[in-house]
């Protein structure tokens, strides 16, 4: 008789890596102040966080969360469907809709639940959901939980998307879901072309802007970046990146959001976002609206590092956002590079299959508006030392001679 736990007893890869001292996951930070952190007794420059605007430690955001705890407590102890909706939630719904340029928005407890709930609510039997092969796991899970049929197209490949759509029944419901900014590659979705194809085949389009809100379009997201807010049907965002909290939201036409509100099981059967988290998002939104220079500084830092890493000879792929992958393409060398960078005082995220395709292992780096040039120079010096020590770069791009 087969034992359900057999697979668990035979899962030894992580334990073997732990014994070798190279297991990089589920490691605890002892302290974090945004741009720097303390890891295993060492202060490190943090370039592995999604804290793009550096607001998680902003005193104003902390104060807003503290005041919300004093007034509302630590939990709402109920779903938004029943007793869990506060006036704070409704205010955030309205503010977010206005911020991204849509009629309505709806706040979920997490970004993961936002994607799962939205897709499974909208895509029913006889419908199709079509996704980019590099889409986030929460999108994939939403597709697997819906009653419609899942189709995929090659990453950012417009001809591949069109080939999928032209084979589907013309009268079937179709939802195309893409990331606005891809979380591993750091590349921005080609929305203008995607929107045109979707309109031609009668498909709706949803953009997961978890890494775009607060980053692209002067902070208002990837649709705003391309001037396509009115032509993108649904915009999804999260609070665990630029908005210094946790949670997520979906925004779109009022009738569509109203339908999702009454059919998304991950919303209806989960406790609502606690008041301190909501208050933190509202304060972060205040800051973003009044201090757009934060976004400008974020992009300055991203371009500074992209240029610096390339000049050292590193391959940063197709990145054109504040997420910059350092492609190493070897699992063991990627983990060794992560450990060596820690020793040099820099924290990155090693990503190996299945997080990326085979032979595409990388160090994922990401940047904040609050990084100083000193932080970035320290990171670049560490990459220089580690790259030479581990032979990660072979031919650095030489700067042009001064005339």
pLDDT in tens, 148-196: 999 999 999 999 999 999 999 999 999 999 999 999 999 999 999 999 9
Could you please report the per-residue DSSP string of 19-57? HHT---SSPPEEEE-SSEEEETTEEEEE-S---TT-GGG
Residue 381: its H or E element? helix 373-389
How many angstroms separate the CA atoms of 99 and 281, rounded?
A: 13
Summarize the confidence of residues 66-70 as an average pLDDT. 98
3-state secondary structure of 154: coil
Largest CA distance in the chain: 78
Residue 38 Cα distances to 21, 72, 136, 220, angstroms: 18, 32, 29, 32
User: In this predicted structure, what is the pLDDT of residue 110?
Assistant: 98
The matching CATH number, chosen from 3.90.1150.10, 3.20.80.10, 3.40.50.300, 3.40.50.150, for 9-56+292-389 is: 3.90.1150.10
User: In this predicted structure, what is the pLDDT of residue 34?
Assistant: 87
HEC-encoded secondary structure of 220-246: ECHHHHCCCCCCCCEEEEECCCCCCCC
> 364-395: per-residue pLDDT in tens?
999 999 999 999 999 999 999 999 999 998 54
Average pLDDT, the chain: 95
Q: Across the chain, how many H-helices and E-strands are there?
A: 15, 14
How many angstroms separate the CA atoms of 293 and 34, rounded?
A: 18
* pLDDT more than 90, % of the chain: 89
> 307-347: per-residue pLDDT in tens?
999 999 999 999 999 999 999 999 999 999 999 999 999 99
User: In this predicted structure, what is the pLDDT of residue 394?
Assistant: 57
How many angstroms separate the CA atoms of 321 and 306, rounded?
A: 9
Please tell me the CATH code under which domain 58-290 is placed. 3.40.640.10
How many angstroms separate the CA atoms of 383 and 377, rounded?
A: 10
Q: Is the pLDDT confidence value at 303 over 70?
A: yes
Q: Is 157 exposed, middle or buried (CB count within 10 Å of its CB: 0-12, 13-18, 19+)?
A: middle
How many angstroms separate the CA atoms of 269 and 33, rounded?
A: 34
Q: Which of 54, 364, 51 has its CA nearest to residue 182?
A: 364
Summarize the confidence of residues 241-247 as an average pLDDT. 97
Q: Residue 292 in contact with residue 218, Cβ under 8 Å?
A: yes
Summarize the confidence of residues 204-215 as an average pLDDT. 98
* pLDDT more than 70, % of the chain: 98
CB atoms within 10 A of CB 300: 16
| 222: CB partners within 8 A, 6+ apart | 180, 181, 188, 189, 191, 207, 209, 212, 216
Task: Using DSSP bridges, classify how beta strands 248-252 and 104-108 pair: parallel, antiparallel or unpaired.
Answer: antiparallel
Residue 206: its H or E element? strand 204-208
Summarize the confidence of residues 75-88 as an average pLDDT. 96
Q: Which of 140, 114, 131 has its CA nearest to residue 175?
A: 131
Q: Is the pLDDT confidence value at 222 over 60?
A: yes
Summarize the confidence of residues 248-267 as an average pLDDT. 98
Q: Is 57 exposed, middle or buried (CB count within 10 Å of its CB: 0-12, 13-18, 19+)?
A: middle
- The pTM assigned to this predicted structure is 0.94
Q: Is the pLDDT confidence value at 103 over 90?
A: yes
List the domain boundaries for the chain.
9-56+292-389, 58-290
| 23: CB partners within 8 A, 6+ apart | 14, 17
User: In this predicted structure, what is the pLDDT of residue 26?
Assistant: 92
Summarize the confidence of residues 213-226 as an average pLDDT. 97
Q: Quote the Cα angle for 268-271-273, to 5°.
A: 110
Summarize the confidence of residues 65-91 as an average pLDDT. 96
Confidence of residue 403 (pLDDT cuts 50, 70, 90): very low
> 3-42: per-residue pLDDT in tens?
999 999 999 988 988 888 888 899 888 888 789 999 988 9
């Amino acid at each position: 008789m087969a034992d359900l736990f057999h697979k668990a007893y035979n899962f030894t890869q992580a334990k073997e890596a732990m014994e070798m001292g190279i297991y990089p996951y589920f490691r605890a930070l002892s302290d974090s102040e945004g741009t720097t952190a303390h890891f295993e007794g060492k202060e490190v420059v943090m370039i592995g966080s999604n804290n793009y605007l550096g607001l998680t430690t902003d005193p104003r955001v902390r104060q807003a969360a503290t005041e919300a705890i004093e007034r509302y407590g630590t939990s709402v102890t109920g779903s938004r469907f029943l007793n869990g909706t506060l006036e704070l939630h409704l205010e955030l719904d309205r503010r977010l809709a206005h911020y991204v340029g849509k009629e309505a928005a709806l706040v979920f407890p997490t970004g993961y639940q936002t994607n799962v709930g939205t897709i499974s609510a909208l895509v029913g039997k006889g419908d199709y959901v079509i996704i980019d092969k590099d889409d986030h796991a929460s999108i994939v899970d939403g597709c697997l939980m819906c009653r419609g049929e899942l189709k995929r197209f090659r990453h950012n490949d417009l001809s591949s998307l069109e080939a999928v759509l032209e084979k589907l029944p013309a009268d079937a419901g179709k939802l195309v879901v893409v990331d606005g900014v891809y979380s591993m590659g750091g590349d921005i979705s080609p929305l203008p072309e995607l929107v045109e194809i979707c309109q031609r085949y009668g498909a709706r389009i949803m953009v997961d802007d978890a890494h775009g809100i607060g980053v692209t379009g002067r902070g208002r997201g990837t649709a705003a970046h391309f001037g396509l807010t009115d032509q993108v049907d649904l915009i999804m965002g999260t609070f665990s990146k630029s908005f210094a909290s946790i949670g997520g939201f979906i925004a779109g036409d009022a009738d569509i959001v109203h339908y999702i509100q009454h059919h998304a099981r991950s919303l209806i059967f989960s406790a609502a976002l606690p008041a301190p988290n909501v208050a933190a998002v509202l304060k972060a939104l205040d800051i973003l609206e009044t201090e757009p220079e934060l976004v400008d500084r974020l992009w300055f830092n991203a371009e500074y590092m992209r240029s610096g890493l390339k000049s050292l000879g590193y391959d940063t792929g197709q990145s054109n956002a504040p997420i910059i992958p350092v492609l190493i393409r070897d699992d063991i060398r990627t983990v060794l590079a992560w450990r060596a960078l820690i020793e040099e005082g820099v924290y990155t995220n090693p990503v190996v299959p299945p997080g990326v395709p085979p032979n595409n292992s990388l160090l994922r780096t990401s940047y904040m508006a609050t990084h100083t040039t000193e932080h970035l120079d320290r990171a670049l010096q560490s990459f220089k030392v580690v790259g030479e020590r581990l032979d990660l770069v072979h031919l650095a791009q030489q700067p042009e001679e001064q005339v």
